[in-house]
Structure 1
């Protein structure tokens, strides 16, 4: 049996998923959590094979932060993101912090079951359009590789460091705390690197970081 922990801030969603999955398809729901800290605590207690993780949980620790901490504490536990966000920024960041899969909440029941079984076996799962997005980014990297000097080379070491943090979705305040610098300094470096790279938005920054191989994929 695949031991599954469900983490979602909506009780109705948790109950519905438990009714759909528990005792079926070789899956046993061993626990439910309403936010990230609770999911981490239950993972330590119950040792699930898979954590089905929502991203947007306003009351408590969000899914991204919880996934990152959970993978450090329990690297053998697979995290399958279940979310409404069909967005490249969320997708790339989730993979970058170690999620084993990413599936949308409007996916058919059979697809969700297949995704759980897939990540439980040690494989990765992405919903079909997400796979296409990653392939497009990979092809862009191949086509753009090795053709002249890159604007990236003009960045200072600190700007490259902050670029990596930004690409992984950290806020200016979080970056400042981690690097022991002021928020204003982070904002200045961010402005400079965005200008040097010709980027206008965070999604553009994430795409650039992918092409440069700055995001590590599990």
Structure 2
């Protein structure tokens, strides 16, 4: 069965990716898995600001992989100044399919041309982007395409590839030993309150468990929402879980 075969391949990647000793070996494993899913053009980049990423990386990003001859064409046409892909990918829940770009409102003709040229000039078809988040806000993005116009992907492939991309991102960060920190870190008490909230406790129950008043809990929650740029406690928890603040 195709699903069993894909599961087996993914399980092997999840196992061996944790044992990879170098970034090149890790990417080779990831590249092989993604190619088995039909994506033979692949690039990954860290999109978070970090001191170690300011020098020596293409476009200011920690990047590995290649999208054929697209990069030179991309730079020559200064598409980096107008390309909306990274922002759109990070703002899209799940996976962003490039063929959905035409449905986006407010994009200029030159922005749409970036995607048109990716197909016509570079032969990049069936493009998808995966947005991934790691500990302390370390964000990354994978761009995956096929050189074959006729390729038809099983919908299950995208879920498998998304899971593999998260695993790759976390393993990459571990190998590179990047220490991402929030500009405004949470205090110990704020982290404690978030952990109780993650267990489903009300503010009154949190006050009881932490030996502080309900009023003080409200004060800490307001600070948490501000620091995590969240509208409510649920949104704050989602952000905290993505950034490894709550386990």
Common topology (TM > 0.5): no
* TM-score in terms of structure 2 length: 0.28
TM-score by length of 1: 0.31
Structure index of larger Rg? 2
